[in-house]
Structure 1
Amino acid sequence: MASEDPTKVSIKLLIDQESNKVIIAEAGSDIVDILRSLLKFPLGNIVRLIGKHQCLQRAGCLNNLYNSVENLSLTSFRTDACKSMLLNPRSIYEDEYSKKLKLYMDFSEPTGYFLCRTYLCSTKTGRWFSHYETSRCSCGKLMNNPTDKDELLHIKSNAYKDESEGESMFFITDDLRVMHGLPGDLMNILLNLGINNVCQIEEKVVDISSNEMSNLLSHSLFSKTTLTDVFLRKQSTMFVQQSMLVAPNVKERTEKDSKTRLKIMLRKSDRKILCGEANEDFVDLLFSFLTIPLESALQLLGDKGNFTVGSISNLLKDLDTIFSITKQNSYLNGILPPFYSCPIELSSICSQPTKLFQTPYGYLKELDPKSPILDNTNSRGYIKKKSLFVITDDLVVKSLSSVSSFSLLKETGTPLCDVEQQVISIGEVEALVLLRACICSSSALSALLNLYVKQPKQEPQ
């Protein structure tokens, strides 16, 4: 079933001709390896990947969020590197990206290693290095001297261990449930689905390029019938009901002590959200979503809020089971690279501590790219303090200096008497709702407002 084209992989579809739906797919380990690799990508790189292939189906509000970072002036960020960190987020799984997959799916820029051009510059224990050429050394000069990683660190990269070597076969359902393709299992699956007449089943072998794989990934964030939508219906749009965006059994709200606030302006006549206004704390929370690996975001949503996302939540759960992947202690050791900001509303998200690399010429220490002043501590936030922003329902973020709420009122023709303001405090529950809506909805602020309104008010004691 292998494709003759080295830039494509093959998958066999079993199609119910009566309903024109994919019953199940038979896939080799090459397909599963690619899907496992995509789950490791930070959400910002998922946006880059989908955008690279110009998929009609975009990833919720993530595309707008990514474009907002791209369009914001450098003067809005604490350092030039802050913008680069969000547009091309690094990952603790970078070594796994180097694994030789049959489809090249990683379009992120390679991680750079830079030194100061003044060789004598050093700390008491060694020299500084940075992943960003816009960082400044302790001497004040730019660290724009590119260096090879192996030459800099004097270490060899560990080869990625392939846990799925061989000619293993897997069954993948329409909603991306994955199971080993054992003999006899297919008949049981068909019987469980109520399919007795094999004559109504069509077999179809499909070659998948990186473009189709990106389209599959994009649809999996929305659809419960991903394989059918991608390979048969060729759908370009999906709709997620607003009711699905509120988790069942929502925990007790946690925003009482939160300092993060969002002011929402909505039209009283139809309850349509016109815009939101917030400072750097809320925008930092939104932008930090771009740095979280997709699988970590899905695990967080499932563990903390009982959320599911499209059919990709099924994929993650089954792959973890098949390959006996226990949740790494990465939630303790950090799921983000050193110096990446962690949203305080999501306490499980944390960055790894910085390391000292010992070389024959002394220690090498990574410089904090987010801090305009050379500092050993992991500074928080990408956006300058005392900044104000306007945010649309689908998470287009603009500086308040470039667009005002009154401009939006003029554009929509909304009279002031028809405007209502609500201030929402952001805690863990609100952050989770925003994260999920960011991935699979085009109305993130509406999802947040729906949660806020539906919470029962506690009677004063």
Structure 2
Amino acid sequence: MTTQEKDPKLQLKLLVDQHSNRVLFAEAGKEALDFLLGFLRIPLGLVVHLLTGEQIPGSLTSIYSSIQNLDESYLMLSDRDVLLKPRLPSVSLLLLEPDSPALATPPPKRYYRCSGTNHPCRGNPIYMTNVGGMPCPNCRLPMVTEMAFLEKPKADSGKSGYVKGPITYLVMDDLSVMPMSTISAIALLKKFQLKDLSMLCEMTVEFGKKESLELLKASLQSTTVLTDVFISKPRVDIDRLQTT
């Protein structure tokens, strides 16, 4: 695997008001927007794990530490990482944890029914289970005959992510999003009541793992995320964050 593949980069095009030193909004393609929307699919336990060493608002850090330190004799779980490092598919993890197995396709579930040879299931078994060998509630025969489960074909089969492309989207400083259009951009400029348009400048920024962690942390604490991460001086040394 190449270095580029290990540390992928995405781009945002920022519109910055140099007078107030803030990001008014950003233009994002499908990949960058998929990354931001993917925050919503990251389990809270994994967020705390990714931001280990940083203060997270509220009590999540406390409950996380409690589970870390709880003696195994009190746990029903065979692996406490189910809570400490939970896994769900999220496009964001491609940057936050490039080597994460979170996006691996889980093995398909297997379903079973009885053989349908005994009364009252003869020729018409009505129960199925995902636990092979369970007794059929009707005929009491073991449910070991495997069945094929057919899913409805997905319209976007083979495509990943959450939004359609190739479309440009507007991302506000608080990470609210909308489709990009000339009218919407003009309306936003009017909303900001800018007096000197010559103070506006475009800035294209790239972000990889380090900046992705900054975006994740800022999204939990701030309503000026893009400004905090790409314009303002960083408030924390993000290199101290645990990313493995």
Q: TM-score if structure 1 supplies the norm length?
A: 0.37
For structure 2, the 5+ residue unaligned runs are: 108-131, 136-141, 237-244
Inter-partner Cα distance in structure 2 for 1:211 and 1:60: 23
Counterpart of 1:13 in 2: which secondary structure? strand
- 1:8-52 CA-partner distances (Å, limit 9, x unpaired): 00101111112211111111111111122221122112223334x
Separation of aligned partners in 2, 1:153 and 1:20: 61
Following the alignment from structure 1 to structure 2, what is the Cα–Cα distance between the partners of residues 69 and 19?
Answer: 44
Q: Give the structure 2 partner of residue 76 of structure 1.
A: 74
What is the match of residue 124 of structure 2? none
In structure 2, the residue corresponding to 1:24 is in which secondary structure? strand
Which residue of the partner structure matches residue 222 of structure 1? Answer: 221
Aligned equivalent of 1:177: 176
Correspondences of 1:40-439 after superposition (within 5 Å): 40-51=41-52, 56=54, 58=56, 60-81=58-79, 83-91=80-88, 94=89, 97=90, 103=95, 105=97, 107=100, 122-124=133-135, 125-126=142-143, 162=160, 164-236=163-235
Larger RCO, structure (CA 8 Å, separation 6 or more): 2
Give the corresponding residue for 2:26. 25
- List 4+ stretches of structure 1 deviating above 6 A: 99-102, 110-113, 152-158
The offset of 1:234, in angstroms, is 3.3
Deviation at 1:69, TM superposition (A): 1.1
3-state SS in 2 of match to 1:233 = coil
Matched-pair contact (CA < 8 Å) for 2:16–2:201: yes
Partner of 2:10: 9
State the alpha-carbon separation in 2 of the partners of residues 100 and 19 from structure 1: 30
Q: Is the 8 A contact 2:38 2:92 kept in 1?
A: no
> 2:117 aligns to what?
none
- Check 1:233–1:192 CA distance in 2 against 1; reply closer, same or farther (3 A cut): same
Contact in 2 for aligned 1:21/1:228 (Cα 8 Å): yes
Name the amino acid aligned to 2:65: N
User: How many percent of aligned residue pairs carry the same amino acid?
Assistant: 30
Q: Return closer, same or farther for 1:100/1:77 CA change in 2, 3 Å cut-off.
A: closer
Residue type at the aligned position of 2:221: F
Shift of the alpha carbon at 1:223?
0.8
What letter is aligned with 2:64? Y
Contact 1:170 1:179 in 2 (8 A): yes
Q: What secondary structure sits across from 1:80 in the alignment?
A: coil
1:289-317 CA-to-partner distances (Å, cap 9, x unmatched) read: xxxxxxxxxxxxxxxxxxxxxxxxxxxxx
Q: Secondary structure at the match of 1:175?
A: coil
Compute the TM-score of the two structures, normalised by the length of structure 2.
0.65
The one-letter amino acid of 1:45's match is: L
Say which SS state the counterpart of residue 51 (structure 2) adopts.
helix
Structure 2 Cα separation of the partners of residues 85 and 201 of structure 1? 47
Q: What secondary structure sits across from 2:187 in the alignment?
A: helix
Distance 1:233 1:185, change over 3 A: same
Letter of the 1:225 partner, please give it.
Answer: T
Shift of 1:160: 6.5
CA distance in 2, matches of 1:100, 1:226: 16
State how far apart, in whole Å, the 2-side matches of 1:38 and 1:103 are. 11
For 2:106 and 2:188, locate their aligned partners in 1 and report how far apart those are by CA, in whole Å.
48
8 A contact 1:29–1:164 mirrored in 2: yes
Cα RMSD (Å): 3.4
Is residue 22–residue 228 contact of structure 1 (8 Å, CA) maintained in 2? yes
Q: CA deviation at 1:188?
A: 2.1
Deviation at residue 196 of structure 1 after TM alignment: 3.5
**Aligned-residue offset at 1:207:** 0.3
Q: Distance in 2 between matches of 1:236 and 1:100?
A: 22
